[in-house]
């Protein structure tokens, strides 16, 4: 038996590789595409964190309502003076039995103090003093006695200035105490609000929990309008 070796010759020039210029052009195009995609990806992530915060607040709101129903309408009380080791007495933990997992809900994913607050058994959300401090003039601390639950704010997103202190409620009675003719009145009001509430937690707005259990996004610019109108938006609606 004879074995024939067949040699195949391939004609034509050898394939040409990328030149340095072509490679640089490709890299430049990829860089442009990435720069265009990054803001979109970041926007999607920000929207996801904002939605997660709203979901957290909504579930906290349901727990607050169930707490009130179990206590003849009484809202959970704030803790004015928490000592070291007494963090579990804060309002967020008194409503914990009415939610599936308080540790998964009490921290906003956009809160820069979130990890520290979580470790300290605190929360990213702060109660409206007008629904938890009976001594405040104009306060309504019983859910059944609130004339307009859909217009009454129960909780805000806690200010970055609070850090890991034990403050668990706002001080709404101090926000608008300045006279209409007081110099720098608007700035003074804003300074007081900012001590309690982070009005721009999610870009230019924040989430607000209402007594009927819903969560609404309110732009910081709208809060500014209320400040100029001398409208204390923390007061329970009548």
165 or 83: which leads in pLDDT: 165
Helix (H, G, I), strand (E, B) or coil at 220: helix
The CA angle 218-223-228, to the nearest 5 degrees, is 160
Amino acid 180: pLDDT:
87
37 or 235: which leads in pLDDT: 235
Lookup: tokens for 194: 């900012």
Asked if residue 230 has pLDDT above 80, the reply is: yes
Mean pLDDT of the chain: 88
Amino acid 162: pLDDT:
93
Q: Residue 28: which H helix or E strand, with range? A: helix 20-70
Sheet holding 125-127, edge to edge: 125-127, 153-157, 205-210, 215-219
Tell me the C-alpha distance between 103 and 77, whole Å: 19
Amino acid 4: pLDDT:
52
User: What is the band of 13 on the pLDDT scale with cuts at 50, 70, 90?
Assistant: low
Amino acid 17: pLDDT:
63
The gap from C-alpha 89 to its chain's centroid, in whole angstroms, comes to: 22
Tell me the C-alpha distance between 112 and 225, whole Å: 27
Tell me the C-alpha distance between 42 and 145, whole Å: 43
The arithmetic mean of pLDDT across residues 156-165, rounded, is 93
69-118 pLDDT, tens digit each: 999 999 998 887 667 777 888 899 999 999 989 999 999 999 999 999 99
Amino acid 12: pLDDT:
55
């Amino acid at each position: 038996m004879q074995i024939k070796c067949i040699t195949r010759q391939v004609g034509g020039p050898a394939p040409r590789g990328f030149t340095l210029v072509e490679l640089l052009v490709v890299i430049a195009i990829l860089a442009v595409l990435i720069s265009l995609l990054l803001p979109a990806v970041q926007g999607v992530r920000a929207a996801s964190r904002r939605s997660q915060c709203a979901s957290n607040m909504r579930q906290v709101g349901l727990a607050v309502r169930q707490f009130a129903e179990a206590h003849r309408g009484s809202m959970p009380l704030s803790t004015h003076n928490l000592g070291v080791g007494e963090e579990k007495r804060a309002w967020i933990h008194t409503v914990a039995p009415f939610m599936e997992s308080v540790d998964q809900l009490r921290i906003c994913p956009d809160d820069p103090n979130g990890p520290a607050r979580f470790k300290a058994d605190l929360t990213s959300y702060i109660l409206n003093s007008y629904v938890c401090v009976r001594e405040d003039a104009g306060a309504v601390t019983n859910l059944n006695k609130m004339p307009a639950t859909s217009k009454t704010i129960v909780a805000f997103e806690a200010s970055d200035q609070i850090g890991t202190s034990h403050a668990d409620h706002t001080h709404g009675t101090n926000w608008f105490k300045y006279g209409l003719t007081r110099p720098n009145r608007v700035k003074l009001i804003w300074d007081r609000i900012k001590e309690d509430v982070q009005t721009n937690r999610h870009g230019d707005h924040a989430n607000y929990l209402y007594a009927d259990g819903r969560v609404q996004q309110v732009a910081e610019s709208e809060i500014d309008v209320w400040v100029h109108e001398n409208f204390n938006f923390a007061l329970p609606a009548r």
